[in-house]
Amino acid sequence: MELTRLLKENCIVVGLRPGGKREIVEELIDVLVAAGRVADKEALLDATMEREAKGSTGLERGVAVPHCKTDAVRELTCSMGISREGLDFAAADGRPSHVFFFLAAPNGMTGPHVKALAAIARLSRSDDFLRRLRFAPAPADALRVITEEETRAD
């Protein structure tokens, strides 16, 4: 699965506001609400925080992938946020997270959700990709970095 099929420019935040996990997730959800992709914002936020309570989705190398399954969305949806300075998301390596991919899928949707997570993991193996993404000056630039990396991976 190509991430660019899910992620659109209007769902990318460059310069996430400082805050805790809940505030970061809420900002990532807000762009999805503005894009008309969320049926119930509070249910989506609650489902994401419930998932996060089971174990942090802050991975290594500055990447976090908060995600959940809930009927607060009608289809698999994705947003992304970037923090150049880094934010504490209880990452596995104890370091700040800079790139946040948010995924939400309806209950019962497993295959596409797992494929999207795998696509994020595959892209995130490249230090160069993560550096270019971290320093993308605008959402269009971040999307271009992802498109270039997906094209190179094919």
Count of beta carbons in the 10 Å neighbourhood of residue 49:
15
Beta carbons within 8 Å of 116's beta carbon, 6+ residues apart: 1, 3, 6, 76, 78, 103, 105
Terminal CA-CA length for the chain: 11
CB pairs under 8 A, 24+ apart, for 28-32?
Answer: 28/66, 28/79, 28/80, 28/81, 28/100, 28/102, 29/79, 29/102, 31/79, 32/73, 32/77, 32/79, 32/102, 32/104
Which residue out of 67, 69, 98, 134 is catalytically annotated? 67
- Whether 113 sits among the annotated catalytic residues: the reply is no
Looking at the annotation, which residues are catalytic? 67
